[in-house]
Structure 1
Amino acid sequence: MTTAGRRVPVGRIVGLHGVQGWIKLESWTEPRTKIFDYHPWLLATVPDAVMEITGAKGRPQGKGLVAQLPGVDDRDAAAALVGSDIYVAREQLPPLGKDEYYWVDLEGLEVVTTEGAALGRVSHLFGTGANDVVVVRDGTRERLVPFIQGSYVRSVDLSGGRMVVDWDPEF
C-alpha cells in the first residue's frame, strides 16, 4: 500500500477573527503551531473541491490559533472557508521510527486474526486517552480493536496492506 498522493488532515477552519480576513483554526498537529510549517495547505471547502493555499501565516491567540491566508482579505471571503478541513500531502510529514505509524497509513489495511480469519478493513482510528482504537468494518459488522502493539496488534505490513490482530472474530 503506497502513501504517495495521500492527504493527511492536520486541522480545520473553525471561525473568523476580526474583519480583515483572518480565520480561527483548530490544529491537530503536535505542537499545534506545527501546522504553519506545512505548505501548501489543501482546503476541502466542499465535497470533492480542494483549494491549494501556499503561504498561510498565523500565531497562537488565546486557546486557539489564528491565521491569515493569501488572497483572503476580508471577513466575507474568510466566512466562505469556515468548516473547511485542512490537509497536507502525506510526503510532507516527518519520517517515523520503527513500529510507528500515521493513522492515514493504516486506513484501508486488511485486518486478519492470528488464526487467519478475515475481520474486514481499517475504516479509521480514534484516540481514547488510554490508547488508540482501530475501527474495522467488513460491510455488516464494525469491530473496535485497541491499537496496542504486541497485545492486540501483532503485526502491521504497510507494503502488503495487512494488519494481524489477536482478536476473537465473534467479539
Structure 2
Amino acid sequence: MEPTTRRILLGRIHGAFGVRGELKLESFTEPATAIFRYQPWTLRDAQGRESNPAGAHGRETHKGVVAVIPGVADRDAAEALRGSEIWVPRSALPPPQAGEYYWVDLEGLRVVNLEGIDFGTVSHLFSTGANDVLVARGDRERMIPFLEPDYIRSVDFDAGVVTVDWDAGF
C-alpha cells in the first residue's frame, strides 16, 4: 500500500477464540460484522509491522465477533496477532450519506469560527459516549462538540473548511 493512501482503523484483534486459529475482534463498524465487507485488511501490530491477509471472514457470537483469517491455523498463531489493528483503505468504504462524514475525511480540514478566527486544522475526533468531539490544533488545542448545527455550522470539503460556532477564548 502506498504511504499516501488514506486508511481507516476498523477494528482490533483481542486474541484467540478456541484452538483452531479463530480470533476475537473488536469491530468499530455498525453492525459489528460489517467489518468483513471492507477488505483488503492491513494488520498492524504494536511494533508497526504490517501484513495483508486476504479472505478474512467471520460471524457474531454471544461473546462478540469472531474472525477466520486464512493462514492462521491454531491458537498460538491467533494469540500472536493479539493487539493488532485492522486498517482498510478509505476507498474500500462506501460514500457517506448526505450530512454524514467519515472522521478521516475531516482530518486536516481548516477550522474557523463564525468571526473568521482560524483555530488550526482538525487533528482528530473522538467519541465521549454522549457525543463526538472535534479536536482542532492551531495556536492551541480546542475540543469542540461535534453537534450540528449547534456548534458545527458547516463542513465544506471543496474549500477544506469546517465552520464552527465556538468562542475563540474557549
TM-score over 0.5 (shorter chain): yes
Residue range with higher mean Cα deviation, 52-61 or 22-31: 52-61
Map residues 126-137 of structure 1 onto 2, 5 A cutoff.
126-137=126-137
Show structure 2 runs of 5+ residues with no match: none
Whether 1:81 aligns to 2:81 is yes
**Offset at 1:102?**
0.6
Q: TM-score, normalised by structure 1?
A: 0.89
Task: Give the Cα separation in 2 of the matches to 1:161 and 1:54.
Answer: 35
For 2:69, the equivalent position in structure 1 comes to 69
The code of the aligned residue for 1:75 comes to R
Q: Distance between the aligned counterparts of 1:78 and 1:143, measured in 2?
A: 40
Question: 2:124 corresponds to which residue?
Answer: 124
**Cα deviation code 1:11-69 (max 9, x no counterpart):** 10012111221110001111111111122111112454321121112111223111111
Alignment match, 2:143: 144
Instruction: Tell me by how many angstroms 1:153 deviates.
Output: 1.1
What does 1:30-69 align with in structure 2 at a 5 Å threshold? Answer: 30-69=30-69
RMSD, aligned CA: 1.7
Contact 2:42 2:86 in 1 (8 A): yes
Shift of 1:163: 0.9
Q: Percent identity?
A: 56
Q: Tell whether the 8 Å contact from 2:46 to 2:83 is kept in structure 1 after alignment.
A: no
Partner of 2:109: 109
Q: CA-to-partner distance for each residue in 1:143-169, whole Å, 9 max, x for gaps?
A: 111112222112112233221111111
Moved more, 124-133 or 16-25: 124-133
C-alpha distance in 2 between matches for 1:27 and 1:120: 31
- The unaligned stretches of length 5 or more in structure 1 are none
Q: Structure 1 residue runs of 4+, over 6 Å off? A: none
| Matched residue SS, 1:91 | helix
Does residue 169 of structure 2 align to residue 164 of structure 1? no
Provide, for residues 82-138 of structure 1, a one-character-per-residue CA deviation record: whole Å limited to 9, x for no partner: 101111111111222222111111112111111111112212112233321111122
Contact map agreement 1:39 1:53 (CA 8 A) in 2: no
Q: Distance in 2 between matches of 1:103 and 1:22?
A: 30
